Each structure stands twice: as structure tokens, then as C-alpha cells.
């Protein structure tokens, strides 16, 4: 539609909106996990069994919580953008596998799948010019 074709001039604004929205939501989603302590981290890290990693669940759970919380912040400001997107893609892959293994089905895993696809796509697109990483 010709009336909306001018929005193509605002791709960097669109990337900023995506970064802010996803960043805030992942901080919101990860911060309680980070504060949950070793019991929560063990439960989260136990998801690594789905890829046959069954050692150090506390470590893996802490890393997932740190990735969601601080990764969300780095996503928000656009710093270390591509590495953070790859880490968040991996966390979403493990979350997806955990939902599928626990019998939640595709509808239960859909949030993780959708977020993982977005993060993987953003890895290729980059943070846009309104970011700390801008070039």
C-alpha cells in the first residue's frame, strides 16, 4: 500500500522499538530467575538434560538467568548485540526443548520458538543505528 511505503525510511526506529520491547520483557522475565537462588537455578539448569548435559545444573541455570536478565539489558541498549542475540537464541532453544519434552506441545513451546526466531533474525540484521554498537 502506497500510504505505508514511507515507513521503510524508519527501519532503524523499528529496530529500536523491537530492542526496547524485547529487552524490557527479557529483563522482566529473567530477573526473578536470577533472584531465585540455587534452587531455582538447579530447576532451570536441569533443562540441559534435553541435550544430554546433566552436570552442573546450578551453573547452567544461573547462566540462563544471567543471559535473560543482562542479555535483555544489552539488547535494550544495543551493546554486544549479535553475541547476545546468539546466546538468547540458545536459551530459547533449550526452553523450547524443555517444553516439548515435558509434554506441553507446540503451543506450550511457541513463545520460546517465536523469541528464538526473532533473536536469530536479529543476529543477521544487527542493532540499527540507534544503539551503542552502531557503526
Q: CA angle 59-64-69, nearest 5°?
A: 125
Sign of CA dihedral 111, 37, 70, 124: negative
If you average pLDDT over every residue of the chain, what do you get?
A: 94
Kindly list the domain boundaries of the chain, sorted by start residue: 12-125
What is the pTM assigned to this prediction?
A: 0.92
For residue 133, is pLDDT > 60?
A: yes
Of the two residues 130 and 134, the one the predictor is more confident about is: 130
Q: Alpha helices of 36-102 — where are they, by DSSP H?
A: 37-45, 57-77, 81-101
Q: Report yes or no: 50 and 101 within 8 Å, Cβ to Cβ.
A: yes
**87: nearest Cα among 111, 122, 125, 57:** 122
For residue 42, is pLDDT > 90?
A: yes
What is the pLDDT averaged over residues 35-48? Answer: 95
Q: How many CB atoms lie within 10 A of CB 65?
A: 24
Integer Cα distance of 63 and 124 in angstroms: 24
Amino acid at each position: 500500500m502506497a500510504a505505508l511505503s514511507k515507513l521503510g525510511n524508519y527501519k532503524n526506529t523499528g529496530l529500536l522499538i523491537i530492542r526496547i520491547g524485547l529487552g524490557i520483557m527479557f529483563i522482566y522475565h529473567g530477573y526473578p530467575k536470577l533472584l531465585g537462588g540455587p534452587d531455582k537455578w538447579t530447576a532451570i539448569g536441569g533443562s540441559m538434560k534435553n541435550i544430554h548435559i546433566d552436570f552442573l545444573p546450578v551453573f547452567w541455570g544461573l547462566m540462563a538467568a544471567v543471559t535473560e536478565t543482562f542479555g535483555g539489558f544489552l539488547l535494550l541498549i544495543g551493546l554486544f548485540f549479535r553475541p547476545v542475540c546468539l546466546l538468547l537464541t540458545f536459551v530459547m532453544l533449550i526452553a523450547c526443548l524443555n517444553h516439548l519434552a515435558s509434554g506441553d506441545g507446540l503451543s506450550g513451546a511457541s513463545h520460546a520458538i517465536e523469541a528464538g526466531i526473532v533473536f536469530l533474525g536479529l543476529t543477521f540484521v544487527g542493532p540499527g543505528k540507534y544503539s551503542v554498537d552502531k557503526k
